[in-house]
Structure 1
Amino acid sequence: MKYISVLLIAFAITFLWSIINPKEGFTCFLEIIPAIIGFLILVFTYNRFRFTNFTYTLILIHCIILFIGGHYTYAEVPFFDYIREIFHQSRNNYDKVGHFMQGFVPSMIIRELFVRKNVIANQSFFNFIIVSICLAISAAYEWIEWWVSISTGEGGDAFLGTQGYVWDTQSDMLFATIGAIVALLLFSKVQDNQLIKI
């Protein structure tokens, strides 16, 4: 419980920081709302289903990435402007970190649910189904970005954050897919070790 309290404090601090003088208020709202919705779901389901500390930590990291993107907008995160200049990149690539985590973290959430609830009997399809779900989540998010952009004009353009890159949508989904695969390859055993303790 102490560890969860630390995570909650970190969540609250970074959330409050993100909403104080953000670059664009409406864009900030759009970027951080998934973290708020996720937080509320976790709070309301906490007594019925508690994830491992490992999974909660990953969720917090993902939320912080969303909060940073919301505060600055994904196209203008200062550190990634610096990286762009150093490596002569054509755009601020912070959004790719966000989309990588959009696959990475959900894959661990889904995997823990699948293992603990014994959702899939045939383990040979386990990772394929998890990656497929993560790709579906990413595609659905791209639909939301598209809809917001055409509905709201300039505010939506900042939310979309393509920065003139014609293949932005496709590369976002690729990064989410890579994130899911990397998480499953590198952290399945770590998660299993935590699951044993439950």
Structure 2
Amino acid sequence: MLTTAGGPVAANFRRNRLLQGLAGAYALWWLALAVAPYDRFDWLLENLLVFAFVGLLTATYRRFPLSDLSYLLIAVFLALHAVGAHYTYSEAPVGGWMTDLLGGERNHYDRVVHFLFGFLCAYPLREAVMRGCGVAGWRSGLLAFAVVLAFSSGYEMLEWGAVLVLSPEEGMAFLGAQGDVFDAQKDTALATLGAAITLLVAGVLERRRRPLS
């Protein structure tokens, strides 16, 4: 059965077929998209945090496992990010199709992934807070929301730093603002909106599961 944040979890990768499948599928997906990316240097920049994050999940798995649902949400987000890293977010074909459908000139794939960062990762972050800090209820949701906001804002500052340190062409490719002066604010707002939706839904479902006293 699919384990969730509200139930017990165990670090047993050898018997967890779902986790094995997620790890294998993501590894194959990542390797396929690592071949001949649109901009190799931008691909490397986009993957630096992925290397650190996946390494952290692997290193802490035995002592601090998360639920199957959290790992599933993380894998979906990382797979979507791998697409943006391969094409660069401003050239992703999915965003191009959205532009053709909705009109305009901007490729909105990065907007979608920023929203999905909050939407997909708020639940695993909330679970990490619950299990690591012993905080439950609305407090765990509030802390997870704050972490999403901090991570999203920190990433925007990282992009800004890359523009300052790298050459203008390489830095702007990583920044992906596409001429929007409010790109950072909009990306952060979308991430927090996605997190708010997930945390509200999780809170409502959690309340419904509680037995009436």
TM-score w.r.t. structure 2 length?
0.83
Query: Shift in Å at residue 175 of structure 1?
Result: 0.6
Matches within 5 A, 1:1-198: 1-120=16-135, 123-152=137-166, 153-188=168-203
Contact 1:28-1:71 at 8 Å conserved across structures = yes
Residues 30 and 190 of structure 1: is their aligned pair in 2 closer, same or farther, counting only changes over 3 Å?
farther
Between 1 and 2, higher relative CO (CA 8 Å, sep ≥ 6) is seen in 1
Q: How many residues align?
A: 192
Which residue pairs with 2:6 in the alignment? none
1:68-113 deviation per Cα after TM superposition (whole angstroms, max 9, x unaligned)? 0000000011121121012112300000122112222332122112
Which residue pairs with 2:9 in the alignment? none
Contact 1:91-1:163 at 8 Å conserved across structures = yes
Moved more, 56-65 or 30-39: 30-39
- What CA RMSD, in Å, does the superposition of the two structures yield over aligned residues? 2.1
Query: Shift in Å at residue 34 of structure 1?
Result: 1.9
Tell me, in whole angstroms, the C-alpha distance in 2 between the residues paired with 1:33 and 1:61.
18
Contact 2:80-2:113 at 8 Å conserved across structures = yes
Moved more, 180-189 or 28-37: 180-189
Tell me, in whole angstroms, the C-alpha distance in 1 between the residues paired with 2:206 and 2:55.
23
Tell me, in whole angstroms, the C-alpha distance in 2 between the residues paired with 1:35 and 1:84.
27
Tell me, in whole angstroms, the C-alpha distance in 2 between the residues paired with 1:51 and 1:73.
30
Tell me, in whole angstroms, the C-alpha distance in 1 between the residues paired with 2:93 and 2:47.
18
Moved more, 33-42 or 61-70: 33-42
Tell me, in whole angstroms, the C-alpha distance in 1 between the residues paired with 2:68 and 2:205.
11
Tell me, in whole angstroms, the C-alpha distance in 1 between the residues paired with 2:88 and 2:206.
32
Moved more, 126-135 or 170-179: 126-135
Amino acid at match of 2:70: T
Query: Shift in Å at residue 168 of structure 1?
Result: 0.2
* 1:20 aligned counterpart, secondary structure: coil
Amino acid at match of 2:123: M
Query: Shift in Å at residue 2 of structure 1?
Result: 1.1
Higher percent of residues as helix: 1
Tell me, in whole angstroms, the C-alpha distance in 2 between the residues paired with 1:40 and 1:88.
40
Contact 2:138-2:203 at 8 Å conserved across structures = no
* 2:66 aligned counterpart, secondary structure: coil
Which residue pairs with 1:196 in the alignment? none
* 2:178 aligned counterpart, secondary structure: coil
Long gaps (5+) in structure 1 = 193-198
Tell me, in whole angstroms, the C-alpha distance in 2 between the residues paired with 1:151 and 1:72.
22
Query: Shift in Å at residue 65 of structure 1?
Result: 1.2
Moved more, 17-26 or 178-187: 178-187
